[in-house]
C-alpha cells in the first residue's frame, strides 16, 4: 500500500477545532478515513449532516447504527460558518441514511446546499447522497437545490450487495444516478470500493452500468476494514490493477477517473471537478 502523506499537525488541529466549534460531524472522522491527515492539513473535510447515527448497517462502514435524533434546523447555518472559517471553496456534504424520515432527509440536504449557495456563490457544493429509498420526490428535492456535483456511491458489484449493503439495492442505486444525470443540473459522480470478493468481470460490468446510468466521474478505491467486526478484506489490489481500471474507465468514456488504493469519493474532490 502507498504511504499516506505526513500530517501538518497545526492545520489538522485547526480543522478539528473549527469542526468542533460548530458541533459538526465529518465522515472523515466517523469512517476512520486513511486520508484524514492529508485532507485536514489541506483544509478539506467532508461534512456528515443529519447526525452521526445511521438507520442502516452496511458491512464496510464504521458509522454507528441506531435511532437518530431529529434533524437540527441550525445545521445549515453552522455548516456555512464552518465553511467560511475553514476558507473552503469546495465543500462535500454527505449524510447518514435517514430511512426514519418521511423524505429520507432530502429537504435538510436542500436547506444546507441552498444556505451556502445563497450566501457565497464562489463556494462549490458537492453532495454525496444516500439512495433516499429511491423516492422520486426526495431525488427531485436534492436536485432542485442545484449543487455543483451530484454524487451517490454504488460501492460494490450487484452480486455482493446483499452481503455488503443489506438494506441497499444495486438497481435502486443505478436509478438514483440515472435520475441525477437526467436532471442535467450537475455532473454525476459515483464510487466503487474493491476488496469484498468481486470478480474482475463484475467490476467492469458495474462500471458499464454506471456509465449507462449517466455517471461521468468515477472513483475507485481499496476497501479497508474498519474493525474485526466488519466485512473481511478478500483482496488487496495492486497499483497496476488500479491503473488498468483507470485506463479502462477512460476508454469507456468516463470524463474524470480517480483509481488508486486510497481514493475515496471525496478525496481530491476539488481537483477532480
Which spans of this chain sit near ligand SF4 (rule: CB under 6 A)?
27-28, 33, 35-36, 39, 44-46, 264, 266-267
E runs forming strands in 206-270: 217-222, 256-259
| Cβ atoms of residues 52 and 25 within 8 Å | yes
Closest approach of ligand SF4 to the CB of residue 193, in Å: 12
The set of residues, in sequence order, having a beta carbon less than 8 Å from that of 38 and lying 6+ positions away, is: 4, 5, 7
Q: Give me the phi and psi of 36, to 5 degrees please.
A: -50, -50
Spatial CA neighbour of 194 closest among 232, 154, 221: 221
Cα gap 217→273, rounded to integer Å: 8
Closest approach of ligand SF4 to the CB of residue 153, in Å: 12
| Cβ atoms of residues 103 and 111 within 8 Å | no
Cβ nearer to ligand SF4, comparing 35 with 206: 35
Closest approach of ligand SF4 to the CB of residue 205, in Å: 26
* DSSP at 123: S
271: its cell numbers: 481537483
Cβ nearer to ligand SF4, comparing 139 with 217: 217
Cβ nearer to ligand SF4, comparing 35 with 173: 35
Cβ nearer to ligand SF4, comparing 47 with 180: 47
Cα gap 79→82, rounded to integer Å: 5
The set of residues, in sequence order, having a beta carbon less than 8 Å from that of 221 and lying 6+ positions away, is: 191, 192, 193, 194, 259, 260, 261, 262, 263, 264, 267
**Cross-strand partners of 246:** none
Closest approach of ligand SF4 to the CB of residue 171, in Å: 26
Closest approach of ligand SF4 to the CB of residue 143, in Å: 23
Cβ nearer to ligand SF4, comparing 19 with 174: 19
Cβ nearer to ligand SF4, comparing 82 with 101: 82
Closest approach of ligand SF4 to the CB of residue 25, in Å: 11
CA angle 181/82/32 to nearest 5° reads 70
Closest approach of ligand SF4 to the CB of residue 72, in Å: 21
Cβ nearer to ligand SF4, comparing 108 with 264: 264
Amino acid at each position: 500500500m502507498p504511504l499516506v502523506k505526513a500530517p501538518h499537525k497545526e492545520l489538522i488541529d485547526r480543522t478539528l477545532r473549527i469542526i468542533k466549534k460548530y458541533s459538526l460531524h465529518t465522515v472523515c472522522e466517523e469512517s476512520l478515513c486513511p486520508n484524514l491527515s492529508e485532507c485536514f492539513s489541506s483544509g478539506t473535510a467532508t461534512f456528515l449532516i443529519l447526525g452521526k447515527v445511521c438507520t442502516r448497517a452496511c458491512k464496510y462502514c464504521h458509522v454507528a447504527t441506531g435511532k437518530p435524533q431529529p434533524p437540527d434546523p441550525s445545521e445549515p447555518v453552522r455548516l456555512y460558518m464552518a465553511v467560511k472559517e475553514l476558507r473552503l471553496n469546495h465543500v462535500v456534504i454527505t449524510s447518514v441514511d435517514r430511512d426514519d424520515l418521511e423524505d429520507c432527509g432530502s429537504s435538510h440536504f436542500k436547506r444546507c446546499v441552498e444556505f451556502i449557495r445563497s450566501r457565497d456563490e464562489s463556494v462549490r457544493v458537492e453532495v454525496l447522497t444516500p439512495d433516499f429509498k429511491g423516492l422520486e420526490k426526495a431525488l427531485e428535492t436534492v436536485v432542485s437545490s442545484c449543487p455543483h456535483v451530484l454524487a451517490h456511491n454504488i460501492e460494490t458489484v450487484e452480486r455482493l450487495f446483499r452481503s455488503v449493503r443489506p438494506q441497499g439495492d444495486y438497481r435502486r442505486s443505478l436509478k438514483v444516478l440515472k435520475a441525477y444525470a437526467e436532471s442535467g443540473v450537475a455532473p454525476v459522480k459515483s464510487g466503487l470500493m474493491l476488496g469484498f470478493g468481486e470478480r474482475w468481470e463484475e467490476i467492469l460490468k458495474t462500471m458499464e452500468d454506471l456509465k449507462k446510468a449517466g455517471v461521468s466521474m468515477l472513483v475507485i478505491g481499496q476497501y479497508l476494514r474498519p474493525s474485526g467486526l466488519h466485512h473481511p478484506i478478500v483482496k488487496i489490489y495492486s497499483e497496476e490493477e488500479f491503473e488498468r481500471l483507470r485506463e479502462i474507465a477512460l476508454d469507456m468514456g468516463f470524463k474524470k477517473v480517480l483509481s488508486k488504493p486510497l481514493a475515496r469519493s471525496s478525496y481530491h474532490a476539488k481537483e477532480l471537478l
